[in-house]
Each structure stands twice: as C-alpha cells, then as structure tokens.
Amino acid sequence: MSAKRSRLSRSSDFERVYRQGRSVASRFLVLYYFRQAEESPEGTPRLGLSVSKKLGGAVVRNRVKRLLREAFRACGESVAPGHDYVLIARPQLVELVEGPDKGAVAAAVRDVLARAGLLRDDGGRGS
C-alpha cells in the first residue's frame, strides 16, 4: 500500500467525511469514518489526521501524527476496507505520547476503531 494513496489530503475529502460520515469518540481520539466512493482504488482504507495546536508545538504535533499513522498501519488487515478515516487528536493524547508505555497510542487507536465496530477479530481473514 503506497503511503500517499493511503492518506486523505484534500480539504474536500475531509469535509465529506465530516459531513456524511459517522463518528465515535474516546478520551484521547475522535474517529470519523465514511464509506469510500466506488472509483477509489482497491478499497484501500485512507487516513486523515487532525492535530490541533492545543497539543503543543510543531515537534509534538508531528510526533503525534507519526505515532497515529504507525498505529493505524499496525492495525493493517484488521481495519475494515473501503472506508475513509479521520482521526482527531484530543489534548489528553499528549499524556500517552509522553508516557512510558510505547504501545499506548496504538491501544488508543485500536480502542476507537473497536468502538466503531471497524476492526475484524481474526486479523483480517474473516468477514
């Protein structure tokens, strides 16, 4: 999966997901998701990130985005294909990023995806 194709980058894509999609929230993240249009290549899940300046300076925000992309990529085959996703980082997420547990951000991403019912239980081999 190409990194560029798997990202939402256009403002219109974000707007469509926000307006027509559904949302689920946790203490650390808000997830918006929307089924992709039929013309999207192979139904590859695409991810958009929104990280506010409330989280910190550019260094902190870029680290948060990198960790969120890694966590989403780690979910890989378990994530429901054919959707566009937007993750919005809440200020409490900085606690996880700066904490001692390296897998805490990944756990937060898996939690919000599970709340939305978008994770497959068997690692992507089933439904």
Q: Is residue 123 part of a domain?
A: no
Q: Is residue 126 part of a domain?
A: no
The mean of the pLDDT values for the chain is 89
Q: What confidence tens digit (pLDDT) does each residue in 64-88 have?
A: 999 999 999 999 889 988 899 999 9
Q: What confidence tens digit (pLDDT) does each residue in 22-45 have?
A: 999 999 999 999 998 776 666 789
Range of the domain at 95: 11-115
- The enclosing domain of 53 has a CATH number of 3.30.230.10
Q: Is residue 120 part of a domain?
A: no
Strand partners, 49: 87
Q: Is residue 56 part of a domain?
A: yes
pLDDT on residue 114: 95
The count of structural domains within the chain is 1
Q: Is residue 2 part of a domain?
A: no
Please compute the mean of the pLDDT values over residues 38-55 and round it to a whole number. 85
* CA distances, 53 to each of 11, 61, 64, 94 (Å): 18, 7, 11, 12
pLDDT above 50 for 127: no
pLDDT on residue 37: 76
pLDDT above 60 for 123: no
Q: Is residue 34 part of a domain?
A: yes
pLDDT above 50 for 1: no
Radius of gyration from C-alpha coordinates of the chain? 14
Task: Of 14, 105, 100, 35, give the one whose Cα is nearest residue 63.
Answer: 105
Q: Is residue 127 part of a domain?
A: no
Residue 10's pLDDT band (boundaries 50, 70, 90)?
A: very high
pLDDT on residue 38: 72
Q: Is residue 90 part of a domain?
A: yes
Contact in structure between 82 and 35 (CB atoms under 8 Å): yes
Euclidean distance between CA atoms 125 and 60, whole angstroms: 36
Residue 59's pLDDT band (boundaries 50, 70, 90)?
A: very high
